Amino acid sequence: MKLTKIAVAVLLTTGLAACSNSSVNNTNEKASAVQSAYPGITLIESVAANAAEISIPYKKYQLDNGLTVIVHEDHSDPLVHVDVTYHVGSAREELGKSGFAHFFEHMMFQGSENVADEEHFKIITEAGGTLNGTTNSDRTNYFETVPVNQLEKMLWLEADRMGFLLDAVTQEKFEVQRETVKNERGQRVDNRPYGRLNERVSQALYPDGHPYSWPVIGFMDDLNRVNVNDLKAFFLRWYGPNNATITIGGDINAEDVLPLVSKYFAPIPRGPEVVDAEKVAVTLEADRYISMEDKVHLPLLSMNFPTTYARAADEAPLDILAEIIGGGNNSLLYKNLVKTQLAVQAGVSHPCRELACSLSIYALPNPASGKTLADIEKIVRDSFTEFEQRGVTQDDLDKVKAKIESGAIFGLQSVAGKVSQLAAFETFTGNPNFIQDDLARYNSVTKADVMRVFNQYVKGKAAVIMSVVPEGQRQLVAAEDNFTPISHDFGGPSTTSADDLVARKAVDTFDRSKQPTAGVNPAVEVPTLWQTTTANGIAVLGTQSIETPTTSILIKVPGGQYSEQAEKVGLAATTAAMLSESTQNYTTEQMSGALEKLGSTIRISANSTHTNIFVSSLTKNLDATLALVEEKLFNPAFSEEDFNRNKQQSIQNIQHALKDAGYLASNAYSQLLYGDSIAALPNGGTLASIEAISLDDVKGFYNSNFKPQGSEVIVVSDLEQQALQAKVAATLDNWEGKAPAPSAHFEEPKVASNVIYLVDKPDAPQSEIRIGKRDMIEDITGEFFKANLMNFALGGNFNSRINLNLREDKGYTYGARTSFWGDATSGGFTASAAVRADSTAASIVEFTKELNNYAQNGISDDELSFMRKAINQKDALKYETPNAKLSFLAQILEHDLQPSFVKERNKIVSTISKEEINALAAKHLNTKDMVYVVVGDAKSLKPELEKLGMKVVDYTL
């Protein structure tokens, strides 16, 4: 994963406290003072904040066992984020033993010596927190955000799996998690269109045995061959404190944190010494053509040129080169392929990792163009020639610098973002304060630098060119394969034994088995709100957030899918897409360029009931951004060229989606629940409906529905109400009219019980399951809300009955869940999972058993207590970022609430009785009323499903 990426606003997740000339203290006097107060801890440096530059204030320490500790103080919200990053990813694995780092990400949540099985998720969820772990080629990290009173418990958990994990890693856990990883691969790779593209490219791009030549998730043959002792050996080699950084940020003080870190982590012994892997330049002597048939609708061309490595001098100009060639609406590939409708999509990026980067190009030809992958490759290469002639403009560099600035400031909005950046920079550079160097290397890029890297890495250089084509259509490949990866025989099952392991054990002076108790829950203040209604009928709700100089605005205009006719479903989404194209005064490219120079975004989309306009801007650029909002909303060009291009893209996207099992399952399920109503159809339309939509339809929908009365504006900004209200009014006050009320009617069809509706996806390695029914509309403090409290123990969290059964106990799935869902018009209940194909029938049995058992016997006392603690302690996390505040305010407007509804809901959580929850379960969880949908390989599934005693009906979308 690339740490700094232009295309994603550079991930400069920094802390504004910090817009400053960082002052770094690294004196022997201060270090010795810290060592005296906290034996075994050395202060390495202290970075303070002042207003001259962007940085994140922190203090960096090191324990005698090598653990690096970084503390960032942010007292804006009563929460804390803890990140433990280990400098180990798939690149530390051996040929034939791929997937270990990712496998260990799973194992680290399976309990340790003092934390019982499945307790890690439960403890953090019960604390009102969120958690996860991620693995990439170069590092693995584990993180949690919790109310600040839960910090000690988090440190206890993280220390226990760093120093006391191996005795808890059993053969049984190993086998279950191996199945879970297989399910994850099936869901994310094998059962997804183009899912194996990256691993095939990596095999061809890197030399045999190179650390990046295998996928992070690993090859299943490797995981099948190894045993639990291989996994333990990998942990002992790489998961020592001297190969880790713990970063703690939030409403804390370093003086309070250090004694806790010392208590829980200092006794853990060092692991083997770790040195950085050598960065060896990757080169290709000639183009390598490879290809693959896949269950896809469109062929795809991928070109990858090896370049440099992360944070090398050439990375920044290569990032800018990628932007110019294929990074957006002003890029060469957009002009030459997408705008001309020769391709449905095309783009360029420059993903970088610790040891290597590549310039990555992709394009999906539009079937209507008649272009082959060979034709597309030629157009790409011709675009390189055009770039030589075009050169680099100052405009190119200015847009990149604007993205960097806005990305840096928007990254200040969450403690998690700041902590993650500190951890990443420390892991890969040894300097958490690397942010200024990172900014400087982009700001110093010249036009000549970009041309130089083009000549060095792209012009006339060899690449890996991969063709992915629909099954049975090998004639579409760009060129015949001329490269085959080396095949290895790694023998039979591993013989690694426990005797081969050299264990290390911590020695404590306290009883680590005792879970720390949390302090008093922190007081959480609901944001102070202001509300008004404009003269033309727009409800405006806002709040001030002074942590960053940014403004976020959500404009909700009534008129979405439910305002359409079924034969032209997708009209609202098409209209929203057209509002993102050219206007009367700007071409699409000019509008994109203007927004990029401001570092602003305007996103327009349609859902069931509304068209939503999301605006994000640095406050200093808000006036200019709102002028562009006004241009987009009130002066659309609705050009024939834009319409035809969007229409073709929509048709191809739908045909692509029809190869995706999850899309098929959702569509079949909606049809069965909603029958002939508009809600039965996909928001983005069907092939027939999109074909039927005309440009006049778009203009008509816009003219009829795009009106101010009933619209809502939600704003979160560092500006005070008066100033912000004036800017909103200046943008929207001249808007007039009222849209007709939606006429959609959702009559519930009668669906036979004891029936499984089977949608065929031939040879699918996984099956998608949906079980559920229509139910209540959404409410905030009524039965809908209470039903979701009831559902929490059933399928509403990781430790729910259904997820523990299907994922952790049986190994059938990567994740299973249940939920009540709804809006003001309709709602329902759904149980869902993507399961291993050979466990489809068994998964149906387990789902049904769990639903019936819960309906009949209800919630346990422990589950009720768990639910109450988990939900009521989440408040500290609800209002941290401007976007979180935006969602909170939108809910208030939508349901006409007073802010006091938060206290009312907390009271319901605290007082709802076991009897009421059980009555809700009995009322809403009758499986006899539910629809069963399965998407998978019908020829193998149908006989197994029929054995369940249910009628199996072949269902066609």
Q: What pLDDT shows up at residue 269?
A: 96
Which residues are 541's β-sheet partners? 531, 714
Task: Give me the pLDDT at residue 14, please.
Answer: 26
pLDDT for the residue 29? 45
Residue 37 pLDDT level (bands cut at 50, 70, 90):
low
Q: What value does the CA radius of gyration of the chain take, rounded to a whole number of Å?
A: 28
Mean pLDDT of 138-153: 96
CB-based burial, 798-825: b 16+ in 10 Å, e otherwise: bbbbbbbbbbbebbbbbbbbbbbebeee
Q: Compute the distance between CA of residue 299 and CA of residue 44 in angstroms, rounded to an integer.
A: 54
DSSP 195: T
Q: Has residue 36 got a pLDDT over 50?
A: no
pLDDT at 3 over 70: no
The Cα–Cα gap between 701 and 183 comes to: 43
Residue 5 scores a pLDDT above 80: no
pLDDT computed for residue 41 by the predictor: 94
Sequence-distant (≥ 6) Cβ neighbours of residue 67 within 8 angstroms: 241, 242, 244, 245, 246, 265, 268
pLDDT at 10 over 80: no
- Check whether 298 has a pLDDT greater than 70: yes
Strand, coil or helix: 774: strand
Query: What is the spatial distance between Cα 718 and Cα 429, in angstroms, rounded to a whole number?
Result: 34
In the prediction, which pLDDT does 2 show? 33
Contact 795, 847 (CB under 8 A): no
Exposure of 270 by Cβ count < 10 A (0-12 exposed, 13-18 middle, 19+ buried)?
Answer: middle
pLDDT of residue 19 exceeding 60, the answer is no
Q: What's the pLDDT at 32?
A: 52
pLDDT tens digits for range 43-82: 999 999 867 778 889 999 999 999 999 999 999 899 999 9
Q: What share of residues in the chain are helix, strand, coil (percent, to 5)?
A: 45, 20, 35
Percent of the chain with pLDDT over 90: 79
pLDDT at 33: 53
Average pLDDT over residues 499-512: 87
Q: For position 509, what pLDDT does the model report?
A: 86
Quickly list H helices, 95-188: 100-107, 119-126, 151-163, 171-185
| Class of the domain covering 6-278 | alpha beta
Please determine, for residue 171, whether its predicted confidence score (pLDDT) is greater than 90: no
Q: Residue 758 pLDDT more than 80? A: yes
Mean pLDDT confidence for 681-710: 96
Rounded to whole angstroms, how far apart are CA atoms 887 and 280? Answer: 47
Fold of 529-732: Cytochrome Bc1 Complex; Chain A, domain 1 (3.30.830)
Rounded to whole angstroms, the Cα distance separating 261 from 63 reads 9
Residue 35 has pLDDT above 70, yes or no: no
Q: Is the pLDDT of residue 823 over 80?
A: yes
Mean pLDDT, all residues of the chain: 92
Q: What is the mean pLDDT of residues 28-49?
A: 73
Describe the strand order of the beta sheet including 712-717 as a list of residue ranges: 529-533, 539-544, 712-717, 550-558, 610-618, 601-606
Could you tell me the CATH superfamily of domain 288-409+433-476? Metalloenzyme, LuxS/M16 peptidase-like (3.30.830.10)
Handedness of CA 792, 796, 797, 800 (dihedral sign): positive
Note the maximum CA span of the chain: 79
Residue 526 has pLDDT above 90, yes or no: no
Residue 540 has pLDDT above 60, yes or no: yes
Task: Express each pLDDT in 665-693 by its tens digit.
Answer: 999 999 999 999 999 999 999 999 999 99
* Residue range 734-740: mean pLDDT, rounded: 91
Both tokens of 717, joined, read: 């900004």
pLDDT for 26: 42
In single-letter form, the type of residue at position 259 comes to P
pLDDT per position as a tens digit, 331-341: 999 999 999 99
pLDDT for 897 beyond 70:
yes
Residue of 450, 625, 442 whose CA lies nearest to 11: 442
Mean pLDDT of 183-204: 92
Whether the full predicted model's pTM is greater than 0.85, yes or no, is: yes
For residues 323 and 269, give the distance between their C-alpha atoms in angstroms, rounded to a whole number.
46
**What are the residue ranges spanned by the domains of the chain?**
6-278, 288-409+433-476, 529-732, 755-954
Domain 755-954, CATH number (from 3.40.190.290, 3.30.830.10, 2.60.40.10, 1.20.1250.20): 3.30.830.10
Nearest to 134 by CA among 416, 433, 360, 406: 416
The model's confidence at residue 16, banded by pLDDT at 50, 70 and 90, is very low
Mean pLDDT of 610-628: 97
Residue 880 or residue 85, greater confidence: 85
- pLDDT tens digits, one per residue of 299-310: 999 999 999 999
What pLDDT band is residue 636 in, cutting at 50, 70 and 90?
very high
